Amino acid sequence: MKRHNFNSGPSILPDEVLRRASEAVIDFNGLGLSILEIGHRTPWFTEVIEEGRSLVKELMGLDDTYSVLFLQGGATTQFMQVPLNLLPVGGHAAYIKNGIWGSKAIKEASVFGQADVIGDTSDRNHSYIQKTFSVPDGSSYLHYTSNNTVEGTQWHTLPEAGQTPLIADMSSDIFSRPVAFDKHALIYAGAQKNAGAAGTTIVAIKKDMLGKTGRNISPILDYEGHIKAESMLNTPPVFAVYVSMLTMRWIKEQGGLAEMEKRAKQRADLFYSALDNLEVFTPIVDKQDRSLMNATFTTSNKDLEAPFLELCKENAMVGVKGHRSVGGLRVSMYNAMPLSSVQALVDLMEKFNQANK
C-alpha cells in the first residue's frame, strides 16, 4: 500500500515521474542502456539537461539575461557559493535571519566577508516573518529564505530590497506558486522537495552579477565556469537531473505554477482550518505568515504528541514529526501531494481530537 507521505524532503514525487524514472534505470528511452550507464556528453543526456534548463526558465519566466545551472551539494553548498562568487573582497551583504537555513547561510557568508543581519526573528523562535528592515547602503545583495521548511513560515510578498539585488533560497517552495522571479538576481533550490530528488541543486543567475569580487575563485566553484560550460563543467548528477526534468515536465502538464498554487491553497486551507478548530492541536506560526508547504504545530498537551504520532504511523502516514532541532509536529504538503492525503490526515486529527479533548 502506498503511504501518505508528509516528509519534509526528500519528499513526495508524482507517481508518473517515479514510473518513468524507474523504467529509465532499466532502459532509457528504448536505447538498450540504463540512464545510469550513458555518457553525460551524449546527445541522449544533453537533450535531458537542456530541456531541464529550459523548463526552469519557462516556469520562472526568465529571459536570456539569466543562466540556469544544475549543480551539486544542495542549498548548503549555495550558502557558500553565493558569497564566494558575489560578495567582493572587503564588501558586505545583507541577510535576513528568519530560520535555521538562513542562519546557516549567514555563517557561510561570514567566511568570505561581512554578512549584516538586518532581520532576526529569533526572539519568537522564527514563528513569524519580519517584513520591515533597512538594507545598508552598498550591500552587494539581500539574501532571504522564501519558505522556512523547519519553522513553517513563508514570505507571501517579496522583501523590499530597493535597488539592492535580491537573492532567494527557494529550496522548499520553488515551483509551488507564481513569483516575480525576475525581480531576483539569483535564485537557488535543492531539488528534493518540489523539483525532484536529492542530488542536484537548481541555480538561476542574472549573468551581469558575476565577475566583480576581485577574488581568486576555485574553478569548480566559479559560477562563470559552469555557465560557460553550459552546466557540464564536470560530470553532472545525470539521474537527479533527469528526475528534475521529469518533475518540471509534470508541473507544466498539470497547468504550471498557477495550478500548483491553487492546489497548495486547497491543501493548506483544509489543513489549517482543522488545526484552528481542533482544541487538542495548537498552531505555532502567525496566521499571515503560515507556509503553504510546511505546517508546524504542537499538541496542546505535550503528552498527546507521542500517541498522535503512533496513530499516524498505524494509518500509514509518514513524516508527521517536527525537525530534530525544534521538535513538535510538522506536515509537509508539496506539489505532488493529493488533497486526499490531507483529508485523511484531517480525519485522523478530528478522531484524535474527539477522543482526547
Contact set with a copy of itself (CB under 8 A):
1-3, 5, 7-13, 18-19, 21-23, 25-26, 31-34, 36-41, 72-77, 79-80, 84, 104, 107-108, 111-112, 190, 192, 197-200, 216-221, 233-240, 243, 316, 318-319, 324
Helix (H, G, I), strand (E, B) or coil at 69: strand
Cβ-proximal residues to 73 (8 Å cutoff; 6+ apart), any chain: 201
52: which 3 cell numbers?
531541464
Torsion angle of C-alpha atoms 310, 10, 193, 133, degrees rounded to 10: 80
Query: At closest approach, how far in Å is the CB of 102 from a copy of itself?
Result: 15
169 is catalytic: yes
Q: Which of 97, 173, 193, 206 is catalytic?
A: 193
63 is in an annotated binding site: no
Judged by beta carbon, residue 36 or residue 339, the one nearer a copy of itself is 36
169 among the known binding-site residues? yes
- Residue 7 CB, shortest distance to a copy of itself, in Å, is 5
Q: Which is nearer to a copy of itself, 217 or 280 (CB)?
A: 217
Q: Does the annotation flag 235 for ligand binding?
A: yes
Binding site annotation covers 234? yes
Radius of gyration of the chain (CA): 21
Q: State how far the Cα of 260 lies from the Cα of 241, in Å rounded to an integer.
A: 21
Distance in Å, CB of 221 to a copy of itself, minimum: 7
Q: Is 247 annotated as a binding residue?
A: no
Q: How far is the CB of 35 from a copy of itself (least distance, A)?
A: 9
Q: Which residue's CB is nearer to a copy of itself, number 157 or number 325?
A: 325
**Is 44 in the active site?**
no
Minimum distance between the CB of residue 37 and a copy of itself, rounded to whole angstroms? 6
39 Cα distance to chain centroid: 29
Which residue, 225 or 283, is less far from a copy of itself as judged by CB?
225
Report whether 132 belongs to an annotated binding site. no
Catalytic-residue membership of 193: yes
Residues paired with residue 68 on neighbouring β-strands, in sequence order: 204
Question: For residue 146, what are the CA distances in angstroms to 31, 80, 84, 153, 164?
Answer: 40, 18, 21, 9, 17
Minimum CB separation of residue 280 from a copy of itself in Å reads 26
301 Cβ partners below 8 Å, 6+ apart?
280, 356
Distance CA 59, CA 262 (A): 16
* Residue 181 or 242 having the CB closest to a copy of itself: 242
Among residues 44 and 272, whose Cβ is nearest to a copy of itself? Answer: 44
In order, the DSSP letters of 101-145 are: HHHHHHHHHHHHSEEEEEEE-GGGTT-S------PPTT-S-EEEE
Task: Supply φ then ψ for residue 335, to 5 degrees.
Answer: -45, -45
Rounded to whole angstroms, the Cα distance separating 228 from 148 reads: 32
The answer to the question of whether 72 is labelled as a binding residue is no
Cell for 27?
532502459
Cell of 13: 514525487
First to last CA, the chain: 31
Q: Annotated binding residue at 303?
A: no
Q: How far is CA 199 from CA 9, 93, 120, 241, in A?
A: 12, 28, 30, 8
The 3-state DSSP class for residue 172 equals coil
Could you tell me which residues are annotated as the binding site for L-glutamate?
8, 41
Residues noted as catalytic: 101, 169, 193
Could you tell me which residues are annotated as the binding site for pyridoxal 5'-phosphate?
75-76, 101, 149, 169, 192, 234-235
